[in-house]
Amino acid sequence: MLVIVGMILLLTWTFDYAFHLAPSSLVNLLLLFATISFVLDFLRERENIRHPRPGWDAMPPKGWFAKSVRRVLHTHAERTNVAPSMKLKATRAA
Q: What is the pLDDT of residue 91?
A: 63
End-to-end CA distance of the chain: 54
Residue bearing the bigger pLDDT, 85 or 38: 38
Q: pLDDT confidence of 56, banded at 50, 70, 90? A: low
C-alpha 13/C-alpha 81 separation (Å) is: 74
- The model carries a pTM of 0.40
Q: pLDDT confidence of 34, banded at 50, 70, 90? A: confident
Helices (H), 20-91: 23-50, 64-80, 84-87
Q: pLDDT confidence of 87, banded at 50, 70, 90? A: low
